[in-house]
Amino acid sequence: MSDHKLLWFDTETTGTNPVENDVIQVAGQVIRNGQVAEEFNFKCQPFNYDTIHPKALEVNRTTVEQLREYDTPQTMYRKLLVIFNRHVNKYDKQDKFIACGQNVGFDKEFMNHFFKKNGNDYFFSYIHGASLCTLTMAAMLEVVEGKKIFTPNYKLETLCKCLGVEIEGAHDALADIVATR
């Protein structure tokens, strides 16, 4: 049996532009051989307090004062590298995480830019090009069924409600990834 490495993860950010805005929380579960091998939940300060969108903080229920208490982005980056290096050989093109999550393309882009802001252009040394995205899976179900199943949107909370999945504390990265998985 091959060792498929899945990285179910979610980010909370200071806006929707991965170049301008910053990651302030990343949480995830490393799945190996179908089992949770490791779980993490890190919060950090933004690189730039001037580009924070108040609506983003409102959504993830965070204040600027709370942000100032979090680790630096460099500390969170180092913590992530320890986990990633424990599970993936970044020099082996066949040894990568498959990124999984709700609208995971958003999170991958933010993490790619988070790595770049930390001086590392090689986020994708750890992450496979293919992803498992629950947003895409929900759309595929609608295509297969030939009708709109999830209404009125594809938001995580809506999908969870339609599928009978409990989600407590939505817009906290760890709560979101547990519900997504």
**Is the pLDDT at 137 greater than 60, yes or no?**
yes
Model pLDDT, residue 26: 97
Characterize the bridge pairing of strands 97-101 and 127-133: parallel
Q: Give the span between the Cα atoms of 25 and 41, in whole angstroms.
A: 7
- Please state the rounded mean pLDDT for residues 104-113: 97
C-beta of residue 97 within 8 angstroms of C-beta of residue 126: yes
Model pLDDT, residue 151: 62
- Please state the rounded mean pLDDT for residues 76-104: 96
Helices (H) and strands (E) in the chain, counts: 7, 5
- The single residue listed with the structure tokens 């979610």 is 10
Q: Alpha carbon of 39 to those of 7, 18, 20, 46, 116: distances in Å?
A: 10, 24, 28, 22, 23
- Please state the rounded mean pLDDT for residues 125-145: 86
Q: Which pTM value belongs to this model?
A: 0.90
Model pLDDT, residue 136: 86
Query: For a pLDDT cut of 70, what percent of the chain falls above it?
Result: 96
**Is the pLDDT at 27 greater than 50, yes or no?**
yes
**Is the pLDDT at 180 greater than 70, yes or no?**
yes
Model pLDDT, residue 173: 78
C-beta of residue 60 within 8 angstroms of C-beta of residue 27: no
List of residues 6+ apart from 101 with CB closer than 8 A: 8, 9, 10, 107, 131, 132, 133, 134, 177, 180
